[in-house]
Structure 1
Amino acid sequence: MVSAQDILRKEIIKKDSNDIFSQAVNLFDTTDAIIVTDHDKYQGMLLKRSLMEPTITLQTKLHTLLTHPPKLTPTTSLEEIACAMVENNIYTLPVLDKDTLLGIVTADDVIKKLTEQTLGMQPIKTVMCTTPLSVSPEETIGKVLHMFRQQHIQYLPIVDHTTVVGAITLSTLVKNILRGPSKIEGRDNFESEKRQKLDLPVKTIMQEQPLLLSPETSIKDVHSKMHQFELPGVLIGKENHLHGIVTHKEFLVPFAGFGKEETIAIQFHHRNSKVQGFDKEQAVELLRAEFLKNYEKFLVVGYLHVSLEQHKEIKQGLFRVVCEMKLSGKPGVFYATQEGYGPQQAMRNSYLAIEHQINKTKKT
C-alpha cells in the first residue's frame, strides 16, 4: 500500500516564526506553503492564501499568520491523506515522525499516484464542479480578492456573457496586489498602492485564453495538463463555453471516502481552531444530525464549507462568533453568514439561513 513516505518531498522551504512578511512573500513564486519553525522546531505552515488577509502588512510577523494543518505520519495512506486535504481545504501537509519534521506531501503527488488507478481513465465530467463561480472582465480586482477570501478558492474563470475570456489565480493576485511592479517599501505607500490596484478591472491582470479542456478528457490527462502548466485548476467546457471546473479538491474527493457513507463532505476553514470552544468532531456531529441528514436526497452529493471567526464581544462567557457557510450540491450553491455567541449557536444560525434558502428553492 502506498503511503506518505512513498511520495515524501524532503526539499522544503522554511522560515523562522519571527521573520516578517516582506521576507517571505517572494518565496511563494515557487510554492503554495512554507514551513515555519522556531529554532528548527516545527511550528506550523504559512499558506499562500493567508497572504490575502486584509490586516497584513510588510512588517507582519509570520507566527501571526500560522496555519496548523493535520500532521501526517510516514505510514498515512493515500486515501487518508486525500481525506485530510479535502476536509481541511489544505493541499500541502507536513509529515512528522513524532516531533521530527521529515518533509511534506502535496496534492499533486497524491493525485498522480491515485489517478494511476482505474478511476483515472474516467472522463473529467464525472468529478468536475458543475456550478463554478465566475466574474465578468469588468469586475474590480478588489471584488475578486473578496471572493477568493470568502469562498476559499484558488482559481476563478472570467466570463463575458457566456464566453470564457480569461482566468485568475491566487498566485496572480499575490503577485499583483502584494508586490506588483513597484519597489516601494514604506508601509503607508504599500497600503496606498494596494488600494489603488483594487479598483482596477480584473481584465488588467487576468490570464487570457486559459486552458479549457473537453468534459470527455480523462481525469488522468486533465491532471497531467494541470501539473504541466502549474495551474491550481482547469476549466472544463467546449467552444469557449464553461461547463465546469476542476481543482485539487475535485480530483481528491472520489478517493477520500466521501460518497460511501456520507454524500456531503464537510470542510472546515483552518482558522476555526482559533475559536474558543470549537471542537471539530462535535461540529461534524451537530451539522450531520441537525442539518445535513434532512437534505442528502435533495443535494445528492456535495460539500459544506464552514468558516468561523471569533470577535471580542462576550455574552454569558461566550465570544461572539461569525459563521460563514457555503453548501454546494446538485441543485446549486447556497451561502449564509450569521453570528451567535459560541461556535455552536453561530453554526446553527447559519444552517437555519441555508435551510430557508433550500426550502425556497424546493418551492420554485
Structure 2
Amino acid sequence: MSSPIPSVEEYMRREAYFIDVEDTLSRVVGIFRETGIPIVIVLSNSQNYLGVITDRIVLRSMLNIDAVKAKNVVMKVPTVNISDSIAKAARIMLENTVKGLPVSGHDDRIVGIITVDDIGRAAEKLYPSLKIREIMTRDPITISADSTIGKALVLMRENGISRLPVVENNRLVGLVTIRDIIDKVLQPKTRATRGEVAGEKIRSLGYKVSDIMTKSVVQASPEEELSTVVKKMIKNDVSCLVIVSHNRVSGIITRTDILEIVTSLEERGKPPIHIQVSFKIEDISPAEKSEIIKISEKYVSKLGKALGNGHLLLHFKEHKEKHGETHLIHCRAVLRTDKVNFTGVGEAWSASQAARVALDKIERQLLVVKELAEKYPYSEEILKRWIAEF
C-alpha cells in the first residue's frame, strides 16, 4: 500500500475526561458508565499528566471503589501527538495493552484521546476489501456448555486468552469471557465476604459455563470484509466476533487483531518480519528484555524465507503462582505473515524461557505444514485453503 498513513489527528476524538490523583475510583466508575470511553486521564496536584485509569482495571478489580484513590491504580501510559501516525498509536496500544491513549497537541497539552474503535474506523478505509479469513485467529479453543466455569478459567490461563466460544454438538451456543467470570463469580464472592451482597446469587467455579455465558453472540463469516466486521463491533459494542463457517466455529477476531494489522503499516521498508514485544510484568530487567529480542531474532533468522513478510508479536504476563520470589511467566507468541498465521503459548519461571517454549510450538506447527506440503505437493492450493478454514 503506497498511500500515506493517516495521522492521529484525523481519527482522534476531542473529548477527554480528567480526574485528580486524589479522586476515588467511584468517580472514575461514574465516568465510564456515563460515557463508555475506555480511559480516564489522571493529573497530578500541579495538573501535570501522570497516566491513565482504564475501564479494564476498574471493572476487573475487587477493590473498594469508595476508598481506593486514583493514585493507587494509575497506569503510566505514553501519549501520542496529533501528528503521529495511527500505526504508531496502534503499536503503543498493543505494547501497553490499553484500548485508548491520550493525545497531545503541538504545545504538549492533552487535547483528546484516540481509542481502539477509532483505529478500527481507520482500518475500514485502509483495508476496504481485506477478508476476515486473512487476519482472524483460526481454530480457536472452545468449551462445551456443560463444562465448569473452573475449566474455562484454566483454559484461559493456559492459553493466554480472555474469551472462549461455547459449543454444543459442534454448534456455537454462546461466549464466555474472563469478565463474565469476574463479574458473575469472583466479585459477588468478594462482596459477600464483606457483607455487601443482599439477595445476589453467589456462583462457584463448579457451576456450568452455560450459567454465565452470553447467549447472543455477534458472528461473522470468513468471507466478510474487515470494514463490515469493524462496523459490527462498534454497533454492538463488543471486542470480538466469532467466525462461523458451515455452522461450525472456524475463527475469532478481536480488536487486538485489528490493532496488529494497522501496526504493520509502520513497518514499510523494514525487515520482512517485525518483532514486537509487550510486557505485563512488574519487574523485568533490561538484560532479560534484550535476551528475548535476541531469541526472537535468532528464531526469525533460522526460519528465514519460510515465514514470509509480517510480524511476530510476543506478549508476556506473570501469574500469581510463585516459586520463592519468582512468578510463573506466561508468553503468548503470534506469528502473522502473508504465508502463515500461528499462535504458540509457553510458561516458565523466566520470560526468556517462556518465549523459547512459545516459539518452539509455532515452529512445530510450521514443520507440520511443511511436511504435508512435501508429501502432497500437488495439493498445495488445497492445503492453503484448508489451513485458512480450519
**TM-score, normalised relative to structure 1:** 0.77
Structure 1 pair 140–34 and aligned structure 2 pair: CA distance change class (3 A): farther
Residue 24 of structure 1 aligns to a residue whose secondary structure is: helix
Structure 1 pair 332–121 and aligned structure 2 pair: CA distance change class (3 A): closer
* 2:209 counterpart (202, 213, 216): 202
Structure 1 pair 26–164 and aligned structure 2 pair: CA distance change class (3 A): farther
Is 1:3 aligned to 2:10, yes or no? no
Is 1:241 aligned to 2:248, yes or no? yes
* 2:43 counterpart (37, 42, 54): 37
Query: Structure 1: how far apart are the matches of 2:355 and 2:239?
Result: 29
Structure 1 pair 331–104 and aligned structure 2 pair: CA distance change class (3 A): closer
What pairs up with 1:92-241 in 2 under 5 angstroms? 92-97=100-105, 100-117=109-126, 119-144=127-152, 153=161, 155-169=163-177, 172-173=180-181, 175-177=183-185, 188-189=194-195, 196-241=203-248
Q: Which residue of 1 aligns with 2:379?
A: none
Task: Determine if contact 2:295/2:356 at 8 Å carries over to the other structure.
Answer: no
Is 1:282 aligned to 2:286, yes or no? no
- Give the counterpart letter for 1:100 in structure 2: R
Q: Which residue of 2 aligns with 1:48?
A: 55
Query: Structure 2: how far apart are the matches of 1:41 and 1:194?
Result: 44
* 1:324 counterpart (327, 330, 334): 330
Instruction: Give the stretch that moved more between structures: 230-239 or 194-203.
Output: 194-203
Task: Determine if contact 1:16/1:38 at 8 Å carries over to the other structure.
Answer: yes
Is 1:348 aligned to 2:352, yes or no? yes
1:233-252 per-residue CA deviation (whole Å, 9 max, x = no partner) reads: 11112243111111122223
- Give the counterpart letter for 2:334 in structure 1: S
- Give the counterpart letter for 1:3 in structure 2: S
Q: Which residue of 2 aligns with 1:263?
A: 273
Query: Structure 2: how far apart are the matches of 1:42 and 1:3?
Result: 22
Query: Structure 1: how far apart are the matches of 2:160 and 2:13?
Result: 25
Q: Which residue of 1 aligns with 2:377?
A: none
Query: Structure 2: how far apart are the matches of 1:28 and 1:17?
Result: 17
1:170-223 per-residue CA deviation (whole Å, 9 max, x = no partner) reads: 65456535766x9x9676235998974544333222221412211111111111
Is 1:306 aligned to 2:309, yes or no? no
Structure 1 pair 76–357 and aligned structure 2 pair: CA distance change class (3 A): closer
Query: Structure 2: how far apart are the matches of 1:190 and 1:199?
Result: 23
- Give the counterpart letter for 2:109 in structure 1: T
1:65-101 per-residue CA deviation (whole Å, 9 max, x = no partner) reads: 3322331011011222223233433231111246522
Residue 138 of structure 2 aligns to a residue whose secondary structure is: coil
What pairs up with 1:66-81 in 2 under 5 angstroms? 66-81=74-89
Query: Structure 2: how far apart are the matches of 1:280 and 1:74?
Result: 33
Task: Determine if contact 1:302/1:327 at 8 Å carries over to the other structure.
Answer: no
Query: Structure 2: how far apart are the matches of 1:277 and 1:69?
Result: 19
**TM-score, normalised relative to structure 2:** 0.73
Structure 1 pair 66–243 and aligned structure 2 pair: CA distance change class (3 A): same
1:295-333 per-residue CA deviation (whole Å, 9 max, x = no partner) reads: 46666666433325499x999xxx745431112344753
Aligned residue pairs: how many? 350
Q: Which residue of 1 aligns with 2:374?
A: none
Structure 1 pair 68–141 and aligned structure 2 pair: CA distance change class (3 A): farther
Q: Which residue of 1 aligns with 2:344?
A: 334
Task: Determine if contact 2:7/2:86 at 8 Å carries over to the other structure.
Answer: yes
- Give the counterpart letter for 1:307 in structure 2: F
Query: Structure 2: how far apart are the matches of 1:179 and 1:14?
Result: 27
Residue 81 of structure 2 aligns to a residue whose secondary structure is: coil
Task: Determine if contact 1:12/1:103 at 8 Å carries over to the other structure.
Answer: yes
- Give the counterpart letter for 1:64 in structure 2: N
Query: Structure 1: how far apart are the matches of 2:133 and 2:153?
Result: 28
Task: Determine if contact 1:95/1:105 at 8 Å carries over to the other structure.
Answer: yes
Q: Which residue of 1 aligns with 2:384?
A: none
Query: Structure 1: how far apart are the matches of 2:274 and 2:148?
Result: 33
Q: Which residue of 2 aligns with 1:343?
A: none
Residue 122 of structure 1 aligns to a residue whose secondary structure is: coil
